[in-house]
Amino acid sequence: MLDPSIPESLQALLLSFNRCFTQPGFGNFVALVTGWISCPGRHSISRVIQAASSAAGEKHHSAFYRFLSLGAWTADSLAQVILTLLLPFLPWQVTVIVDDTLCHKSGPHIFGANMHFDSAKSTYGRGTSAGRKAFFAFGHNWVVLALWIPLPWDRQRGLAIPFLFRLYRSKKHCPKGQHRKRTELAAELIKLVASWLPGERRLEIVGDSEYACKTLVRDLPADQHFTGPMSMDAALYAKPGEYKGRGRKRLKGKRLLSPQALAKSKSTRWEKLELTVYGRRVIIRVKSQLCVLPVRLL
């Protein structure tokens, strides 16, 4: 029985995660979640425990720190429950967004922290006289997978709910043979989500230029699609012709225009599309062609 001060709607939600913990661990989980919701200002663990009030009971604060560092539970099991709870709100094609984010930290004894590129502070030379400048910051670099959930009143807009993640550690600070690139971590997360989805659902992955690579795209099954940017000088080919049973089967057809050449070509007309970008309806011009991009060139 949960604390009666917790609203019934929140109790029902919290009970969905009961199977992920031992009985004492579930009590700690409930206290931390309710404390996090109630905590004003900075959400440090000590402040969250204080805000948990009656949900924390008379437990010593060290019990909650042990729960987070040594508890018999995994973040992946929580992510699977979150996906199950959100499935009724998702369309047949489940869209996940992969990216990495920097969480600023300080202190010499923070596990897994290092200097990482800070995209929020860096400039790219557009709209500024300072030109392109790269900034770095100390902290954790997380590879995050988010579920895109369309809004009930506007299916063209939605929310991205982060639910699955991996900590990226630089090669210099990893034990020998244990370093994995961000793209390798992302591929692991996508395979995990695909194994949780019911068989009738299709998975659509969206990522930026870092994740539009062979490490992630090459091994995707035929029923999983990836959407991301492409190099403007990419070598594109038509689909191979029908195989006639002689020699090695062809992987590609004739060479097509690269994206850059296609944009300049006058033989293919621009088409107008109306899209919603950051809540605004905008009209963009596009050209399209069906092509093959050999995975060895990704």
pLDDT digits (tens, 9 = 90+) for 18-77: 999 999 999 999 999 999 998 888 888 888 988 887 767 778 888 898 999 899 999 999
The Cα 261–Cα 291 span in angstroms is 14
Q: Residues 6 or more apart from 144 whose CB is under 8 A from it?
A: 98, 99, 100, 101, 162, 164, 165
Percent of the chain surpassing pLDDT 90? 47
Q: What pLDDT score was predicted for residue 127?
A: 54
Average pLDDT of span 157-175 = 91
Which one is predicted more confidently, 83 or 109? 83
Question: How high does pLDDT run on average in the chain?
Answer: 88
Q: What pLDDT score was predicted for residue 297?
A: 41
Q: What pLDDT score was predicted for residue 298?
A: 45
pLDDT digits (tens, 9 = 90+) for 192-204: 999 999 988 999 9
Tokens of 32: 């931390």
> Is residue 126's pLDDT more than 60?
no
Q: What pLDDT score was predicted for residue 85?
A: 95
Do residues 228 and 252 touch, judged by C-beta distance below 8 A? no
Confidence of residue 240 (pLDDT cuts 50, 70, 90): confident
Q: What pLDDT score was predicted for residue 1?
A: 60
The Cα 63–Cα 72 span in angstroms is 13
Q: What pLDDT score was predicted for residue 291?
A: 87
Beta bridge partners of 102: 141
Tokens of 18: 């009961």
> Is residue 129's pLDDT more than 80?
no
Average pLDDT of span 77-91 = 95
Tokens of 31: 């206290």
The Cα 180–Cα 297 span in angstroms is 21
The Cα 97–Cα 4 span in angstroms is 37
Average pLDDT of span 135-152 = 93
Q: What pLDDT score was predicted for residue 250?
A: 80
> Is residue 274's pLDDT more than 70?
yes
Average pLDDT of span 163-172 = 93
Confidence of residue 187 (pLDDT cuts 50, 70, 90): very high
Tell me phi and psi for residue 283, to 5 degrees.
Answer: -110, 125
Average pLDDT of span 125-137 = 71
Neighbour tally for 179: CB within 10 Å:
14
pLDDT digits (tens, 9 = 90+) for 210-236: 998 888 988 888 889 999 998 888 888
Neighbour tally for 214: CB within 10 Å:
14
> Is residue 172's pLDDT more than 60?
yes
